[in-house]
Amino acid sequence: MKTLLIVAGAIATLLIVAFVVVLLIGRSLPVRHHVVREARIPAEPSAVFAAITDVARFPSWRSGISSVEPLPSQGGLRRWRERSGGDAVLYEATHESPPAELVTRIADPSLPFGGSWAYDLRPDGVGGTTIRITENGEVYNPVFRFVSRYVMGHAKTVETYLDDLSRHFAQSGSSARRQ
């Protein structure tokens, strides 16, 4: 019995030390991060812009999105709530210039993270679109900052989005390339 208590105490101590280390490293990381990724999509900019602004259809092509609830505009800004798993995140479009530019942001200040995404769409000269996404993210919780930086990677959200968008347009016979 004594050996079991010693082992349990050692494991508990290691877990506490690991948590403290994660917390300290997370506190040393900047709250803000900046990510830029781009991909070639085998569709005209107008078709790509239509896909990335038709929020009601997100669950049909975006992995992890179980539902989207379009909401009434507020202050002239289009708003919607995305659900994935048990999480719900409120977004709004702060700038739209079809078919070339879109800027969205998280509109819920109570979350432990926030940020904005700028989508820049340009014709590639061969019937497709080069889409560049710039994420300006913020992670307020130091443990989440550690996970975002060292476990998931800051670019994970943008890279998954571009992969999903590429698959969505894959039926055209061309393949998308992420850079």
Nearest to 160 by CA among 135, 130, 124: 135
Sign of the C-alpha dihedral computed for residues 61, 63, 67 and 73 taken in this order? negative
Per-residue confidence in pLDDT tens, the chain, 179 aa: 888 888 878 888 888 877 777 677 778 889 999 999 999 999 999 999 999 999 999 999 999 999 999 999 999 999 999 999 889 999 999 999 999 999 999 999 999 999 999 999 999 999 999 999 999 999 999 998 988 888 888 899 999 999 999 999 986 444 444 44
16 and 72 together in one domain: no
- With residues binned 3-state (H G I as helix, E B as strand, rest as coil), the percentages for the chain, rounded to 5, are 40, 35, 25
13 and 95 together in one domain: no
How many domains does one find in the chain? Answer: 2
58 and 24 together in one domain: no
Q: What is the pTM of this model?
A: 0.85
96 and 48 together in one domain: yes
d(CA 91, CA 58): 13
Q: Are 71 and 78 in contact (CB under 8 A)?
A: no
52 and 98 together in one domain: yes
38 and 26 together in one domain: no
Sign of the C-alpha dihedral computed for residues 22, 28, 31 and 32 taken in this order? negative
* Domain region containing 151: 31-178
Q: What is the pLDDT of residue 2?
A: 84
23 and 103 together in one domain: no
Burial of 55 (0-12, 13-18, 19+ CB in 10 A): buried
Q: What is the pLDDT of residue 176?
A: 45
